[in-house]
């Protein structure tokens, strides 16, 4: 396991920010799962609980005024981490016209162009070349931006990943590829389908730096991503980061996750990303239990407001079918 | 006769063919240890083991191509695409290799492979995961393309497909796997290339295939309540197409409605419409009606996604239109 960064070297406000975001994602996802159970939300719904440290740790290392974020279908956490309004995210899950994608996208296709958050993509690996293309634009326009491209351990075997890294390597594109290795692609343990189980080492084939991050530790993710982002910004150099993490729930709401043991899950939950940061801050006298409770209560309240907003929003009109097809 | 589900009918077909012929194997994402994303392969890994029921990484182009290689080398692989939405990543292997290798080798090679999985709209999934792609495959010479609407047809067609020496694309549907129907105990085959009259009638012919056959049947029932006798033809095979069955029926009823989940432009349904216009011009009492998906990507919102698809109401209205009862 990676050396844990010392909380004392961070500004308290920054740390509180990370905690707030992780708490918000956790509470949002609990509610999303519950509302799915009540059939308020339909389709595939991939819950992010357990992986909060990856999105928050990584996104806190970029500046969304100039940087970009793209991800796959397990995207509610990233949407919230980039600062999207939880109301518009929840309304999208409800399929209401106030949703961020105007009820056309649903759970897997969150977008907020104003926050440089370019999806949400339902096809495994399909957004990796797209992210690489955003990197090409940055280089072409000689901008200062960097792209964070999140994907799962399952996506790393797609040709699209290898083709993209090669081109990013040759063309020196400012893209940070972040493999969220939650150890399962649906029901498949990544070790069963990965000839090289240290996924970060695949970077070597493309002559770019590859790094391992503890995906249960927001600060470790933050540090590793920060280094990669700086390299991308100053030298236009891509990187690959494997963040080892874990999803607590099944692949999607229809998956009972029988392919792993209860013991394994219990063991992983002891590495809870929220508790880890909270404890570190506690021990460094940077956070009291009351302060944390306040953060968590605020997250619950925000999620409640999002639910109310989604519940009270209107369905889209039938004629809106014909909108958004062509410019 | 036993009443079993569509998924169990497919399972029986795979099981029987794997027992009969040890060159038959099944490969795809989650088909082995997870028992299939839609549980079609339940129990097969337990029975046949890793060698014949193979979990692949998520690499549609890769494992589709591997299947093609195994087929030209003498095996009879069944490649499961979790859904047809992802098969588009494998189009190069399907169109340029599976369909052409026999032709390009001057008949030296044969490509006995089955590609199968869920095709067509499901529910609440937005546009990447909810689309009917029959037309894509039906377009390609060198492929056979079949679609089963009932458990009986599913079992019989899959067995024929596995025994066929050509590449066969077999379209199932997420929303069909649970439906039940009679399936005989004794072995039988449903020949590829033969349409089936699912319901005889003499005032209007409704032609469809796959999941929407059930909507056509419901529409016919509703028409019957209004004193109109509709014949429902299930094509079952798009390539080769049973043109004779189509022509014979329209010659009897003089009116024709085609129901196809595809988008309307250059669709399989529009080709059937050409067949009817070309062969039945003299006997048609009304123009041919085509009920397709509306020409837009599928939205997430449920009301909108239902509005996009063929429905019983739309079919009934089209039938009345060709009967000049409504316009
Ligand atoms: C090209 C393609 N093939 C298959 C699927 C079906 N599918 C959806 S998610 C998934 C597993 C992906 O796992 P991973 O990339 O590790 O991401 P995680 O779900 O763990 O976040 C599969 C097979 C798909 N969406 N796209």
Per-position DSSP letters for B129-175, written without gaps between them:
S----HHHHHT-TT-EEEE--SHHHHHHHHHHHHH-SS-EEEEE-TT
Instruction: Copy the structure tokens of residue A79.
Output: 């949407």
Ligand 1 atom nearest to CA at A44: 8
Q: Is B103 a catalytic residue?
A: no
Residue whose Cα lies nearest atom 19 of ligand 1: it is A185
Instruction: Name the helix (H) or strand (E) containing B235.
Output: none
Pairing of strands B230-234, B76-83: unpaired
Contact A61, A225 (CB under 8 A): yes
Confidence bin at B39 (pLDDT 50/70/90): very high
Give the pLDDT of residue B153. Answer: 98
Question: Which residues sit with their C-beta closer than 6 Å to ligand 1?
Answer: A 46, 74, 122-124, 152-155, 182, 184-186, 251; B 29, 58, 60, 82, 86, 89
Which residues in chain B have Cβ-Cβ distances shorter than 8 Å to A95?
124, 300-302
The predicted-structure confidence for B51-87, as pLDDT tens digits, reads as follows 999 999 999 999 999 999 999 999 999 999 999 999 9
Question: B327: pLDDT confidence band, cut at 50, 70 and 90?
Answer: confident
**Hey, which CATH number is domain B2-183, 3.40.50.970, 1.20.120.1200, 3.40.50.2300, 3.40.50.620?**
3.40.50.970
**Residue (of A178, A179, A152, A157) closest to A232 by Cα position:** A178
* Spatial contact of A26 and A49, defined as CB atoms under 8 Å apart: yes
Which atom, in ligand 1's list, is nearest to the CA of A251?
Answer: 19
Q: Which CATH class is domain B196-323?
A: alpha beta
Residues B211 and B172 sit within 8 Å (Cβ to Cβ): no
Residue A84 and residue B108: Cα distance in Å, rounded? 58
Q: Which of B17, B29, B60, B231 is catalytic?
A: B60
Residue B130 is predicted with a pLDDT of 97
Tell whether A186 is within 8 A of chain B (Cβ): yes
Cβ atoms of B28 and B60 within 8 Å: the answer is no
- pLDDT, residue A1, reads 46
For B239, residues 6+ apart whose C-beta sits below 8 A from its C-beta are B137, B138, B143, B144, B145
Give the atom of ligand 1 at the shortest distance from the alpha carbon of A153.
16
With a pLDDT cut of 70, the percent of chain B lying above it is: 100
- pLDDT of B112 reads 97
Does B285 score more than 70 pLDDT?
A: yes
Q: Please give the distance, rounded to the nearest whole angstrom, from the Cα atom of residue B277 to the centre of ligand 1.
A: 44
| Interchain contact, A42 vs B123, CB within 8 Å | yes
Which residues from B are below 8 Å from A197, CB to CB?
none
How would you classify the pairing of strands B168-172 and B256-259?
unpaired
Distances from the Cα of A270 to the Cα of A53, A115, A266, A275, angstroms: 14, 33, 7, 9
Q: Which CATH number fits domain A46-84+116-288: 3.10.20.600, 3.90.1170.30, 3.30.420.40, 3.40.50.970?
A: 3.40.50.970
Range B180-190 average pLDDT: 97
CB contact under 8 A, A123 and B89: yes
Question: Could you read off the pLDDT of A165-191 as tens digits, one per residue?
Answer: 999 999 999 999 999 999 999 999 999
Q: Which of A152, A153, A178 is CA-nearest to residue A165?
A: A178
Centre of ligand 1 to C-alpha B198, Å, is 37
Q: Residues A19, A234, A119, B36: is their CA dihedral positive or negative?
A: negative
Of A43, A154, A192, the CB nearest to B58: A154
Question: What's the confidence (pLDDT) of residue A210?
Answer: 98
Any idea which residue has 């033809």 for tokens?
Answer: B233
Where helices occur in chain B by DSSP H, the ranges are 6-20, 44-52, 60-72, 84-87, 91, 101-104, 134-138, 151-163, 213-225, 243-253, 268-280, 302-308, 312-322
Of all helices (H) and strands (E), which one includes residue A175?
strand A175-181
- CA–CA separation, A163 and A146 (whole Å): 19
Q: CB distance from A194 to chain B under 8 Å?
A: yes
**Nearest residue of B to residue A158, measured between CA atoms:** B59
**Is the entire prediction scored with pTM above 0.80?**
yes
Both tokens assigned to B186: 């004794």
Average pLDDT for runs of 10 along chain A of length 327: 80 98 98 97 97 98 97 98 98 97 96 96 94 94 97 96 95 97 97 97 97 98 98 96 97 94 96 97 96 98 98 97 92
pLDDT on residue A4: 79
Q: List chain A residues with CB under 8 Å of B265.
A: none
Between A43, A157, A318, which is nearest B123 by CB? A43
- Quick check: helix, strand or coil at residue A13? helix
- Residue B310 in 3-state DSSP? coil
The whole-number pLDDT of residue A3 equals: 66
Residues 113-172 in A contacting B (C-alpha not used; CB under 8 Å) = 121-126, 154-155, 157-159
pLDDT of A153 reads 98
Ligand 1 atom with the shortest distance to the CA of B89: 1
Taking the Cβ of residue A271 and every Cβ of chain B, the question of whether any pair is shorter than 8 Å is answered with no
Say whether A106 and B125 touch across the interface (CB within 8 A): yes
Nearest chain A residue to B90 by CA distance is A159
Check B16, B30, B129, B139 and give the catalytic one: B129
Burial B178-198 (b: 16+ CB within 10 A, else e): ebebebeeeeeebebeebbeb
Percent of chain B topping pLDDT 90: 99
Instruction: Report the residue of A45, A73, A122 to disrupt the B interface, i.e. the one with the largest count of B CBs within 10 Å.
Output: A122
Taking CA–CA distances from B63, the nearest residue in chain A reads A158
In chain B, ranges of CATH 3.40.50.970 domains: 2-183
Tens digits of residue pLDDT in B226-271: 999 999 999 999 999 999 999 999 999 999 999 999 999 999 999 9
Residues in B lying within 8 Å of A, measured between beta carbons: 29-30, 33-34, 37, 55-59, 61-62, 85-86, 89, 123-129, 294, 296-297, 299-304, 307-308
């Amino acid at each position: 396991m990676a050396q844990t960064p010392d909380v004392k070297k961070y500004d308290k406000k920054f740390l509180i920010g990370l905690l707030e975001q992780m708490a918000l994602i956790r509470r949002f996802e609990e509610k999303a799962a519950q509302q799915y159970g009540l059939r308020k939300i339909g389709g595939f719904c991939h819950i992010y609980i357990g992986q909060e440290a990856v999105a928050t740790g990584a996104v806190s290392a970029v500046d969304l005024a100039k940087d970009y974020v793209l991800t796959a279908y397990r995207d509610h956490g990233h949407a919230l981490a980039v600062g999207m309004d939880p109301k518009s995210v929840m309304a999208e899950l409800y399929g209401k016209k106030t949703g961020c994608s105007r009820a056309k996208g649903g759970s897997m296709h969150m977008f907020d162009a104003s926050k440089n958050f370019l999806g949400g993509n339902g096809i495994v690996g399909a957004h990796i070349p797209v992210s690489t293309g955003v990197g090409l634009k940055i280089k072409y326009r000689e901008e200062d931006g960097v792209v964070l491209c999140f994907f799962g351990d399952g996506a790393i075997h797609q040709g699209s990943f290898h083709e993209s890294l090669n081109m990013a390597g040759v063309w020196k594109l400012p893209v940070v590829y972040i493999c969220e290795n939650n150890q399962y692609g649906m029901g498949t343990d990544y070790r069963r389908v990965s000839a090289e189980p240290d996924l970060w080492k695949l970077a070597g084939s493309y002559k770019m730096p590859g790094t391992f991050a503890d995906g249960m530790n927001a600060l470790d993710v933050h540090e590793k991503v920060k280094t990669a982002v700086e390299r991308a910004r100053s030298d236009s150099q891509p990187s690959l980061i494997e963040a080892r993490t874990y999803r607590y729930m099944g692949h999607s709401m229809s998956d009972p996750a029988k392919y792993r043991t209860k013991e394994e899950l219990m063991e992983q939950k002891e590495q809870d990303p929220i508790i880890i940061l909270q404890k570190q801050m506690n021990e460094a006298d940077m956070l009291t239990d009351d302060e944390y409770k306040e953060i968590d209560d605020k997250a619950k309240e925000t999620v409640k407001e999002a639910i109310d907003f989604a519940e009270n929003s209107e369905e889209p009109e039938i004629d809106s079918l014909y909108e958004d097809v062509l410019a | 006769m036993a009443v079993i589900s569509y998924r169990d009918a497919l399972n029986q077909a795979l099981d029987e063919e794997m027992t009969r012929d040890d060159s038959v194997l099944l490969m795809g994402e989650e088909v082995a240890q997870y028992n299939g994303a839609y549980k079609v392969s339940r129990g097969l890994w337990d029975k046949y083991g890793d060698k014949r029921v193979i979990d692949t990484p998520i690499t549609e182009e890769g494992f589709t191509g591997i299947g093609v290689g195994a087929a030209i080398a003498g095996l009879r692989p069944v490649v499961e695409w979790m859904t047809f939405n992802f098969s588009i990543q494998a189009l190069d292997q399907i169109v340029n290799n599976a369909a052409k290798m026999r032709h390009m080798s001057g008949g030296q090679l044969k490509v006995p492979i089955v590609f199968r999985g869920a095709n067509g709209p499901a529910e609440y999934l937005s546009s990447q995961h909810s689309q009917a792609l029959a037309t894509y495959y039906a377009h390609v010479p060198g492929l056979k393309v079949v679609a089963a609407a009932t458990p009986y047809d599913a079992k019989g067609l899959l067995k024929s497909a596995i025994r066929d020496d050509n590449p066969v694309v077999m379209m199932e549907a997420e929303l069909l796997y649970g439906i039940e129907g009679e399936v005989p105990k004794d072995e039988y085959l449903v020949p590829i290339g033969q349409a089936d009259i699912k319901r005889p009638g003499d005032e209007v012919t409704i032609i469809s295939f796959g999941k929407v056959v059930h909507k056509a049947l419901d529409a016919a029932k509703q028409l019957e309540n209004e004193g109109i006798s509709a014949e429902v033809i299930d094509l079952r095979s798009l390539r080769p197409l049973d043109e004779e069955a189509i022509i014979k029926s329209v010659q009897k009823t003089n009116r024709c409605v085609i129901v196809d989940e595809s988008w309307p432009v250059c669709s399989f349904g529009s080709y059937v419409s050409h067949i009817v216009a070309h062969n039945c011009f003299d006997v048609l009492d009304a123009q041919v009606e085509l009920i397709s998906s509306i020409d837009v990507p599928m939205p997430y919102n449920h009301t909108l996604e239902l509005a996009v698809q063929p429905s019983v109401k739309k079919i009934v209205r089209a039938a009345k239109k060709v009967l000049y009862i409504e316009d």
